[in-house]
Chains A and B, each alone.
Chain A
Amino acid sequence: MKDLIGGHKTWLGIAILMAFLTLIPFFATDYWMTLLVLILIFTVYASGWNLFSGLTGYTNFGLAWFIGVSGYVSSLLIADHKFFWLFAWPIGALFVGIVSIGVGYILLRIKGVYFAISMVALTEGTRELIGTEYLEPITHGGKGVPFVAGISLSALYWSVLLLAFITVIICYKITSSKFGLRLMAIREDEQAAETMGIHTTRDKIIAFALSAFLTGLAGAIHFTYQNYIDPSFGFTIHLTLTPIVMTLFGGVGTVFGPAIGATLFTFIHEILWAELTILYMAIFGAILIALILFFPQGLLGWMKERGILPRIRKI
């Protein structure tokens, strides 16, 4: 377990990068900042997904549920109850975090593809539920919730930068901790792990709720940025799939894979879509197919296999 990334040079590099990113609002244009905000939000989504699914092997196809529930709670607080955004965000995230403990307790006993489908069903069901006549007085139903949080782009950017930084640090710490190892043991062989004294249910739920909290926080920021939430935007399957694809792109189960995936992916998307408006989505689909067939271990995995990067887990 040589700590290759713990060297002073690496930390110095990270510090410089962070300082640079922090100072960006002072010289970058709004467009670049918007792009960075989206990259950072998706970095949190992808890392949050990876934190649970990449380590435990439970494919979470309901990331949009985390995002949408937290987005809804925080948006409603800001729009209808005049909460200050800084307070609304953590409330939304805590809400989804706590609810997901219960949800995890119920759903995490379902395994494999069925778990993935149950999460999709949960997302779809919640979306429909928000629109029903019973919840409409609170949620505004299909009309959606438009609001202005009164947050400047720079403040938005710094918030999400801090969140992304914390998320990556948490992922790094977890991957190199015993808790992370236990999660990986669940992925490798859940039953064996349990007969070796690992409280698998508890560990899974903790990881699930932590993932929900972090993605939820990013989700709350996302909809504040968007000034608007409605059931179909809040729970769209794209909010689940894009982060998964980004993670696959960077490397599942790696620490920096999701961040790298989110960054590269957003840039490629930005370039492709400007040039190929309509075929863009078709190309996106083709890339997905190619990724699975020829590149299943992701960028970092591929580099590790080729010996370009050391085969250690902390990257």
Chain B
Amino acid sequence: MTNFIEILIRGVMLGSLYALVGMGLTLVWGVVGIVNIAHGEFVMLGAYLAFWSFSLLHLNPLLSVVLAIPVFFFAGTMIHKRITERLTKAPELSALILTFGMSILIWNLAQFFWTNTYRSVPYLTGSFPFFGLVFAKSKTVSFFLAIGITAALFAFLKYSRLGKGIRATSQNPEVALVCGINTIKMRAVTFGMGIGLAGAAGAIVSLQWVIFPQMGASYVSKAFAIVVLGGLGNIQGALAGGLIIGVLESLVTQYWSAKMAQIIPSMTILLILLLRPTGLFKR
């Protein structure tokens, strides 16, 4: 039983990180209308940001998480203004191919500059006991960071003027435009936020896992499952979806097999698309 609870909680911790990646993807997809295949690459860049600032500047990786958000936000808005804004009226295939090209470009440049060497940030390794259960320090801290960022995101969307504008743009861009909302700006800001979330998630990932140029790919498929599960553009849905995927992965690995756990994301996508194309959670 303790084992079960331990695994459940680990699943939630894992899920919180997935949710962070998924929320970024769903924001960009829902508001900007772009399926960003390169999303995982920004997670990778976030992880490298944390790694380099740790190993060169001896910056605490937790600070890197905070640092990553504005850096990636700014980068994201620039990328959108220069490149992806042109895609808003193009067919969906264009966005898929373009962001795929972006993904290849980014990870290969990363490979070129930083080589294939596998790296990790040896910080907060190990575990601590908690009422007879054992939890990883890094994951626990990551969990609270992820929760903090999620809460801040919710508050921002709910209460700030900009956040309201983003929600309006996501619900009906034409009406929003008529109401005097600068939808181009909104889209750029949202794209920036999505990338910012990916960067933050990457910095958190650096605490837990191995860092290498091609690591982004493994997050994208999970993020897609989360977006489909939670419903397109639905932030709360993505949060719930991330937690569900994380918990399922933990439980299935333990009580069934790791290979079956790996099938979960793709099966989720297929099932949800067939049974409830709008996602599991109502907006």
Report if A and B associate in a common complex: yes
Chain B residues 39 to 62 lying within 8 A of chain A, measured CB to CB, are none
Residues on B with beta carbons closer than 8 Å to the beta carbon of A285: 101-106, 108
Measured CA separation A201–B231 after assembly (Å): 26
Select which of A120, A128, A131, A293 is within 8 A of B86 by beta carbon.
Answer: A293
Select which of A106, A284, A291, A292 is within 8 A of B104 by beta carbon.
Answer: A284
Chain B residues 82 to 125 lying within 8 A of chain A, measured CB to CB, are 83, 86-87, 90, 92-94, 96-98, 100-106, 108-109, 111-112
Q: Are A113 and B96 in contact (CB under 8 A)?
A: yes
Select which of B35, B102, B108, B269 is within 8 A of A289 by beta carbon.
Answer: B102
Q: Are A296 and B224 in contact (CB under 8 A)?
A: no
Residues on B with beta carbons closer than 8 Å to the beta carbon of A150: none
Return A113 CB to nearest CB of chain B, in Å: 5
Residues on A with beta carbons closer than 8 Å to the beta carbon of B277: 110, 114
Q: Are B266 and A288 in contact (CB under 8 A)?
A: no
Select which of B92, B98, B108 is within 8 A of A113 by beta carbon.
Answer: B92
Given contacts A278-B112, A282-B104, contact A121 B35 (CB under 8 A): no
Q: Are B270 and A125 in contact (CB under 8 A)?
A: yes
Residues on A with beta carbons closer than 8 Å to the beta carbon of B93: 59, 116, 244
Given contacts A128-B262, A279-B108, contact A117 B273 (CB under 8 A): yes
In the complex, whether B274 has a CB less than 8 A from a CB of chain A is yes
Give B93's nearest chain A residue, CB to CB. Answer: A59
Chain A residues 104 to 132 lying within 8 A of chain B, measured CB to CB, are 106-107, 110, 112-114, 116-118, 120-122, 124-125, 128-129, 131-132
Residues on B with beta carbons closer than 8 Å to the beta carbon of A28: none
Residues on B with beta carbons closer than 8 Å to the beta carbon of A245: 97
Measured CA separation A279–B259 after assembly (Å): 34
What count of chain B residues pass the 8 Å CB interface test?
Answer: 39
Q: Are A122 and B97 in contact (CB under 8 A)?
A: no
In the complex, whether A189 has a CB less than 8 A from a CB of chain B is no
Select which of B87, B94, B96, B98 is within 8 A of A61 by beta carbon.
Answer: B96
Given contacts A113-B92, A117-B269, A122-B266, contact A287 B101 (CB under 8 A): yes
A-B contact pairs, 28 of them (CB 8 A): A59-B92, A107-B270, A110-B273, A110-B274, A113-B35, A114-B228, A116-B93, A117-B35, A117-B228, A117-B269, A121-B273, A125-B267, A128-B263, A133-B259, A244-B97, A278-B108, A279-B112, A285-B103, A285-B104, A286-B101, A288-B100, A288-B104, A289-B83, A289-B98, A289-B101, A291-B97, A292-B101, A293-B98
Residues of B within 8 A of A (CB): 35, 83, 86-87, 90, 92-94, 96-98, 100-106, 108-109, 111-112, 221, 224-225, 228, 257, 259-260, 262-263, 265-267, 269-270, 273-274, 277
